[in-house]
Amino acid sequence: MNNMLMSEKKLETTQTKISAKDVNVYYGDTHAIKDVNVEIPEKTVTAFIGPSGCGKSTFLRCINRMNDTIDVCRVTGDILLDAEDIYDKRVDPVQLRAKVGMVFQKPNPFPKSIYDNVAYGPRIHGLAKTKAEIDEIVEKSLRRGAIWDEVKDRLHAPGTGLSGGQQQRLCIARAVATEPEVLLMDEPCSALDPIATAQVEELIDDLRSRYSVVIVTHSMQQAARVSQKTAFFHLGNLVEFGDTSDIFTNPSDSRTESYITGRIG
Amino acid sequence: MPVIWILLIVLALAAVGYVLGRRRAYASAEGEIRKLHSLPAYYGYNAAMLTAVPAFFVIAIWLIAQPILIDARIGALIPDSAISESSTRGLVMSDVRRVAEGLDKLVAAGSLTDEETHNLHIETTDIRELLGSVGTALGSDVAPEVLSAAQDYRVLSGAASLGMTILAFVAAIGGLYYSLKQTNKDFRARNTVESMVLSLLVVASTIAILTTAGIVLSMLFETRNFFSQYNWADFYFGTTWSPSFSGRGGSSQLGLLPLLWGTLYISVIALLVAVPIGLYAAIYLSEYAGPKMRSAAKPLIEILAGIPTIVYGLFALITVGPMLRDYFAQPLGLGESASSVMTAGIVMGVMLIPFVSSLSDDIINAVPQSLRDGSLGLGATKSETIRQVVVPAALPGIVGAVLLAASRAIGETMIVVMGAGAAARLDLNPFEAMTTVTVKIVSQLTGDTDFSSPETLVAFALGLTLFVITLGLNIVALAIVRKYREQYE
Ligand SMILES: Nc1ncnc2c1ncn2[C@@H]1O[C@H](COP(=O)(O)OP(=O)(O)OP(=O)(O)O)[C@@H](O)[C@H]1O
Ligand SMILES: [Mg+2]
C-alpha cells in the first residue's frame, strides 16, 4: 500500500469551492439522495466511493445541473459554487456547465472526428481565434488525456471508431479542453489499462494545482492514490466525509469500514 | 377432384405426419428426450413439411403449366379456316374455353351426362341455347370446329387434373414415408427443418425480386415498341409535347423535356415547403416540446398524412390556386391562371410535411441521450447541441426521409392535375400552368386507347424514365447514408 502515500501529501488549507446543504434528489418516487451535506474544497481531489446504485453519479450530476435534462428528476436543497446558489433562477445552467466540466460514466464521443470532438468546447466558447490556436488546444488536451500518441496520425478519423478505453480518454481530453474550474469525473478509468490509468491519475494530480476535481471510483486504491478528500455514499446517504487518509486508516462509521475492508480485502 | 380438396387432404396428411414423426422419434429414444438430437416437435415438423411442401410444389407447377400446354395442344388443332378474317387464334381459343366451361356446368347441373357431351353435334343440338340455359352466353353460334375443340379440351383437362391429383398424393405420401423412415433419435431434425424454413424464406424474397424484374421487363418491352415507332432523340430532347390522337403517328410531338421540367419544378417547390417545415416541426417536437404538447401535436400532424391526395387536390383547386392568382400572380403581372406550378408545389409540400416530420422525429429521438448530455455538459446551449451534435448524428436518416419525400413528390399525380393543370410547358414562371410526367401517363392511357400507336406507348417510356429517376434517387440516398455510416460508426 505504498501508493497511499500520495494522499498523505500535505493538504493546504483552502477555501470551500462547492458546498451542498440538505440536498435531496428524487427520480419520480425514488428517493435517490437523502439530506446530503458536504463541503468540497478548492484545489483538491475529492473521491466519491460507495456501492453501485448508492447515488454517486446522481449527486455528481447535481453539481453541474445535468439532472435538469431528466424529466422525472427533482432536486431540493442548495448547492453553492463559490458561495453562489447554482439552483437560483438567475443562474444560467449553460454558463455553469462551462465552469463545471464533466466526464460521463459511459464514454460518449460525438459522431465527429477526434479533432472536432476536442475542439467542440473551445469553439462554442470562443476560446480560440485562429486555427493554429485550436490546433494547439487540441494537441495539449489530447496529451493531457494521455491519448495523443495513439491518435496523432488520425485526428480526422471518427471518434466513435476508437476503442472503449480510447473513447474514455478522448472524453477526458474533450472535458479539459474547455478549461473548467471544477471537473467532475464519473469513473473515468473504468475501461483503462494500468498504464493509461496511471497517466489519467497523473493528469488529475496535475489539475489539482488549479482546479477542483471530483472523481467517482470503484477502486479503493485509486481513491487512496489520487484524492485528498473522500466521501462514502450508501443507499443515498452520505455516510462519511473527511480526509482520505482518515477514511482509509481510521473510518468512524462501521459501514465505511466494512465497505473499504471488504473491497481491499 | 377440385384443387381445394387436394390441398385439404395434403394438409391432413401433413398433420398426420407431424403426429407420427413425433411419436416415432419418441419411440426411437425409448421415451427419453435427452437421447434425441432435436426436440420431438422438430421431427414432427420435418415430417409435416416433407409431406406438404413437395405436394404443394407439384400442384403449383401443374396449375401454371396445364392451361399453357393444353391451350397449345388444342390451339394447334383448330384449322386456319375456322378463324375468320376479323378474329385471331387467341379469340377462338377463348370461345373454346367458354364452351368447355359451359359443358362442365351442364354436367354439374345434371342436364347432360359426361357421355352425352362427347356426342353433341352442331346439326342436332342448339349448343348456344343449351349453354345459355346454364348462364354461359356466347356471342355467336358455335362453329363445329370450336365444339369439337371444346370437347377435346374437356377430355384433356379432365385427364390432366386426374394426373395432378395422383401425382400430388404420390408426392405427399412419398414424402411422409421418406420422412418417417428418416426419423430416429440421431437424425438431425432441427437442422433439416431450419434449412427448409430458410429455403421458404429465400423463395419468398425471390418472388419479390422477380416481380420487380417482371414489372421492369414489361415496361422495357413496351418502351422498345415505342422507340421502334418514335425516334428516341426526339423523345428525350424534344421540347414540345403535343400528341395528336386523330392522325396516327407523324404529326404527334412527344418531347419529354416539358414534362420532366414540370415534374422537377413542382417537386422542388414541394420539397422547399416540406423539408424546412417538417424538419423544424420534428426538432421542436422531439427536443423542446413537453410530453403533453407532444402527445397532442404528433397525431395532429399525422392526420395530414391520412388525408387522401384528391382532397389536397380540391384544396389546391378551389382555395390555394385562386388565392395565389389574386394576391400574387395578377398584382405582379405574372399570369392569369389559377392552376400553377406554385399552387401544386405548395399543396404537395403541405402533403409531404408529415412524412418528413414524423420520420425525422423518430430518427432524432433515436439519437442517444448521452450525446446530448455530452454536449450540454461542455456548456453548449440547447440549440448548439441540436445544430452541432443531434442533427449531424441524425443526418443520414434525415437525408433518407427527404429522398423518400422526393420520390413521393415525383410520383404524385392528383394534386398536379387539380393544382397545376395539364398543359405541358417549358417555362420559368412559377405562376404558369404546367404538368408532370405522371399526369401525362394517365392522360395518354385513359379513354379509347390503342396499344399500338406511339401516343399510347409513350406512356411506358414515360413510366420507365420516371422509374429510372426514382431508382437513381434511391441509389444516391443509399450512397449518402453509407458515406456517413463509414464516417461515424
Ligand atoms: N434516470 C433515472 N431515472 C430513474 N432512476 C434513476 C435514474 N438514474 C439513476 N436512478 C436511480 O437512482 C439511484 C442512484 O443511481 P446512480 O446512478 O446515482 O448510482 P451510482 O452510485 O452512480 O451507481 P454506479 O456505481 O453503479 O454507477 C439508483 O437507485 C438508480 O436506480
Ligand atoms: Mg454511476
Ligand 1 pocket check for A56: Cβ under 6 Å: yes
Ligand 1 pocket check for A55: Cβ under 6 Å: yes
Chain B residue with CA closest to A180: the answer is B378
Which grid cell is A226?
489520487
CATH topology for A15-260? Rossmann fold (3.40.50)
Query: Looking at ligand 1, which residue's alpha carbon is closest to its atom 14?
Result: A55
- The one-character DSSP state at A161 is G
What mean pLDDT, rounded, does chain A reach?
Answer: 89
Dmax over CA atoms of chain B, in Å, equals 101
Buried b (16+ CB within 10 A) or exposed e, B414-450: bbbbbbbbbbbbbbeebbbbbbbbbbbbeebbeeeee
Which grid cell is B218?
414489361
d(CA B108, CA B2): 13
Residue of A25, A26, A30 to mutate, ligand 1, most atoms within 8 A of C-beta: A30
Q: Judge residue A54's burial from the number of C-beta atoms within 10 Å of its C-beta, 0-12 exposed, 13-18 middle, 19 or more buried.
A: buried
Ligand 1 pocket check for A52: Cβ under 6 Å: yes
Identify the band that residue B91 occupies on the pLDDT scale cut at 50, 70 and 90.
confident
Interface test with A, best of B365, B378, B389 (most A CBs within 10 A): B378
Task: Report the run of H or E that residue A75 belongs to, with start and end.
Answer: strand A73-81
How confident is the model over B428-444, as a mean pLDDT? Answer: 89
Residue with cell 354436367: B107
What mean pLDDT, rounded, does chain B reach?
Answer: 87
- Tell me the one-letter amino acid at B329: A
Task: Report the run of H or E that residue B53 belongs to, with start and end.
Answer: helix B40-77
B436 φ/ψ angles, rounded to the nearest 5 degrees: -120, 175
Q: How far is the centre of ligand 1, averaged over its atoms, from the C-alpha of A30 (Å)?
A: 10
Give the model's pLDDT for residue A5.
46
Residue B192 CA: distances (Å) to CA of A15, B26, B187, B195, B322: 75, 18, 9, 5, 68
**Does the pLDDT of residue A247 top 60, yes or no?**
yes
Give the model's pLDDT for residue B147.
83
**By the 8 A CB rule, do A159 and A170 touch?**
yes
Buried b (16+ CB within 10 A) or exposed e, B344-366: bbbbbbbbbbbbbbbbbbebbee
The whole-angstrom distance between B371's CA and the closest CA on chain A is 6
**Does the pLDDT of residue B247 top 60, yes or no?**
no
Q: For residue A234, which ligand has an atom nearest its CA?
A: 1
Would the CB atoms of B291 and A112 count as touching at under 8 Å? no
Q: Mention the CATH class of domain B253-488.
A: mainly alpha
Would the CB atoms of A104 and B374 count as touching at under 8 Å? yes
The whole-angstrom distance between A170's CA and the closest CA on chain B is 12
Query: Looking at ligand 1, which residue's alpha carbon is closest to its atom 25?
Result: A52
**Does the pLDDT of residue A264 top 50, yes or no?**
no
Give the model's pLDDT for residue B250.
56
Q: List CB contacts of B127: < 8 A, sequence separation 6 or more.
A: B99, B120, B141, B142, B147
Tens digits of residue pLDDT in B260-296: 999 999 999 999 999 999 999 999 999 999 889 989 9
d(CA A214, CA B165): 82
Which grid cell is B441?
401517363
- Tell me the one-letter amino acid at B399: V
Q: For residue A58, which ligand has an atom nearest its CA?
A: 1
Which chain B residues are within 8 Å of A178, Cβ to Cβ?
Answer: 378-379
Q: For residue A27, which ligand has an atom nearest its CA?
A: 1
Would the CB atoms of A64 and B377 count as touching at under 8 Å? yes
Task: Report the run of H or E that residue A101 belongs to, with start and end.
Answer: strand A100-103
Q: Does A121 touch chain B (CB under 8 A)?
A: yes
Q: ∠B244-B246-B247 over CA atoms, to 5°?
A: 80
Task: Report the run of H or E that residue B215 belongs to, with start and end.
Answer: helix B189-229
Q: List CB contacts of B390: < 8 A, sequence separation 6 or more.
A: B287, B364, B367, B371, B372
- Tell me the one-letter amino acid at B482: R
Specify the 3-state DSSP secondary structure of A218: coil
Give the model's pLDDT for residue B291.
85
Residue with cell 417545415: B277
Would the CB atoms of B381 and A94 count as touching at under 8 Å? yes
Sequence spans of domains, chain B: 3-187, 188-225, 253-488
Identify the band that residue B453 occupies on the pLDDT scale cut at 50, 70 and 90.
confident
**Contacts with B, A 18-77, CB within 8 Å:** 64, 66, 69, 71
Nearest C-alpha neighbor of B37 from the set B188, B179, B200:
B188
Q: ∠B63-B64-B68 over CA atoms, to 5°?
A: 110
Sequence spans of domains, chain A: 15-260
**By the 8 A CB rule, do B241 and B253 touch?**
yes
Would the CB atoms of A66 and B371 count as touching at under 8 Å? no
d(CA A121, CA B378): 6
Give the model's pLDDT for residue A2.
45
Chain A residue with CA closest to B388: the answer is A120
Helices and strands (DSSP H and E) totals, chain B: 20, 2
Identify the band that residue B486 occupies on the pLDDT scale cut at 50, 70 and 90.
low
Ligand 1 pocket check for A2: Cβ under 6 Å: no
> Which residues are A85's β-sheet partners?
A80
Q: List CB contacts of A190: < 8 A, sequence separation 6 or more.
A: A105, A168, A218
Ligand 1 pocket check for A58: Cβ under 6 Å: yes
Which grid cell is A17?
469551492
Residue with cell 463509414: B486
Ligand 1 pocket check for A174: Cβ under 6 Å: no
Q: Judge residue A262's burial from the number of C-beta atoms within 10 Å of its C-beta, 0-12 exposed, 13-18 middle, 19 or more buried.
A: exposed
Ligand 1 pocket check for A164: Cβ under 6 Å: no
A21 φ/ψ angles, rounded to the nearest 5 degrees: -125, 120
Residue of A57, A62, A106, A185 to mutate, ligand 1, most atoms within 8 A of C-beta: A57
Nearest C-alpha neighbor of A116 from the set B393, B483, B398:
B393
Give the model's pLDDT for residue A9.
47
Buried b (16+ CB within 10 A) or exposed e, A203-219: bbbebbeebbbbbbbeb
Tens digits of residue pLDDT in B15-39: 999 999 999 998 888 878 888 888 8
Ligand 1 pocket check for A105: Cβ under 6 Å: yes
Chain B residue with CA closest to A93: the answer is B379
Residue of A26, A54, A190 to mutate, ligand 1, most atoms within 8 A of C-beta: A54
Taking the alpha carbons of A151, A155, A156, A159 in that order, is the dihedral positive or negative?
positive
Residue A69 has its nearest CB partner, among B376, B378, B487, at B376
Which chain A residues are within 8 Å of B488, Cβ to Cβ?
Answer: 111-112, 158, 160
Which grid cell is B92?
377462338
Nearest C-alpha neighbor of B440 from the set B462, B414, B465, B412:
B462
Which chain A residues are within 8 Å of B489, Cβ to Cβ?
Answer: 158, 160-161
Atom of ligand 1 nearest to the CA of A72: 3
Atom of ligand 1 nearest to the CA of A51: 25
Tens digits of residue pLDDT in A4-33: 444 444 445 568 899 999 999 999 999 999
The whole-angstrom distance between A91's CA and the closest CA on chain B is 13
Would the CB atoms of A178 and B370 count as touching at under 8 Å? no
> Which residues are A242's β-sheet partners?
A230
Which chain A residues are within 8 Å of B393, Cβ to Cβ?
Answer: 110-111
Query: Looking at ligand 1, which residue's alpha carbon is closest to its atom 24?
Result: A52
Ligand 1 pocket check for A119: Cβ under 6 Å: no
Q: How far is the centre of ligand 1, averaged over its atoms, from the C-alpha of A67 (Å)?
A: 11
How confident is the model over B407-421, as a mean pLDDT? Answer: 90
Which grid cell is A240?
462519511
Would the CB atoms of A94 and B389 count as touching at under 8 Å? no
Chain A residue with CA closest to B396: the answer is A111
Q: How many Cα atoms sit within 13 Å of A7 on the Cβ side?
A: 26
Q: Which residue has the higher pLDDT, B318 or B115?
A: B318
- The one-character DSSP state at B113 is -
- Tell me the one-letter amino acid at B21: G
Q: What is the ipTM of this complex?
A: 0.89
Phi-psi region of B333 (alpha: psi -120 to 50; beta: other; left: phi over 0): left
Helix axes B144-182, B3-28, angle to 10 degrees: 10
Nearest C-alpha neighbor of B57 from the set B168, B152, B163, B155:
B168
Tens digits of residue pLDDT in B136-167: 777 777 778 888 888 888 888 888 889 999 99
If interface means Cβ-Cβ distance under 8 Å, which residues of chain B face chain A?
A: 291, 368-381, 384, 388-389, 392-393, 487-489
- Strands A100-103 and A182-186 come out as parallel
Which grid cell is B485?
455510416
Q: For residue A26, which ligand has an atom nearest its CA?
A: 1
**Does the pLDDT of residue B489 top 70, yes or no?**
no
Task: Report the run of H or E that residue A32 belongs to, with start and end.
Answer: strand A30-41
Ligand 1 pocket check for A53: Cβ under 6 Å: yes
Task: Report the run of H or E that residue B115 belongs to, with start and end.
Answer: helix B114-118
Task: Report the run of H or E that residue A76 belongs to, with start and end.
Answer: strand A73-81
d(CA A58, CA A26): 10
- The one-character DSSP state at B418 is H
**Does the pLDDT of residue B373 top 90, yes or no?**
yes
Tens digits of residue pLDDT in A194-236: 998 998 899 899 888 888 999 999 999 999 999 999 999 999 9
